[in-house]
């Protein structure tokens, strides 16, 4: 059910942005996600297909870009980026990391019809 709640908030953000732009239809919703968000893009798309029915976002496609997570190393004090394949400090290999990136996902931009 994780993705359902997320999809609803993505849709709310996208619809608000589209109304602000006076768009008539949303074609694509571009998202940025952290590597550990646990969100499955296919699930978001599936829920969006259902939730967006009858709205400006009906038929919109989800496009996801995965971005590395910014971290601060508690051992060497340097800032670095980690992803699923590299979860240790890139400088000293420590696992004692503090997460710096705020949101695990965000709506980056929309492709809309005016």
Residue number with CB closer to Zn ion (38 or 93): 93
Contact with Zn ion (CB under 5 A) among 13, 46, 67, 76? 76
Token code pair at residue 39: 């969100």
Residue number with CB closer to Zn ion (64 or 73): 73
**What minimum distance in Å lies between the beta carbon of 72 and Zn ion?**
9
Going across the sheet that includes 97-99, the strands are 79-82, 69-73, 97-99
3 state SS for 60-89: CEEEEEECCEEEEECCCCCEEEECCCCCCC
Residues 78-97 that bind Zn ion (CB under 5 A): 89, 91-92, 94
Residue number with CB closer to Zn ion (6 or 97): 97
Which residues would be at the binding site for Zn ion (CB under 5 A)?
A: 73, 75-76, 89, 91-92, 94
């Amino acid at each position: 059910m994780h993705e359902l709640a997320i999809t609803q908030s993505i849709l709310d953000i996208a619809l608000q942005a589209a109304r602000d732009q006076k768009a008539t239809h949303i074609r694509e919703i571009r998202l940025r996600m952290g590597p550990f968000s646990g969100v499955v893009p296919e699930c978001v798309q599936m829920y969006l297909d259902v939730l967006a029915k009858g709205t400006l976002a009906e038929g919109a496609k989800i496009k996801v870009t995965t971005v590395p997570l910014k971290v601060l190393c508690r051992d060497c004090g340097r800032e670095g980026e980690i992803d699923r394949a590299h979860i240790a400090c890139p400088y000293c290999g420590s696992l004692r990391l503090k997460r710096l990136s705020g949101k695990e996902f965000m709506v980056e931009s929309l492709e809309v019809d005016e």
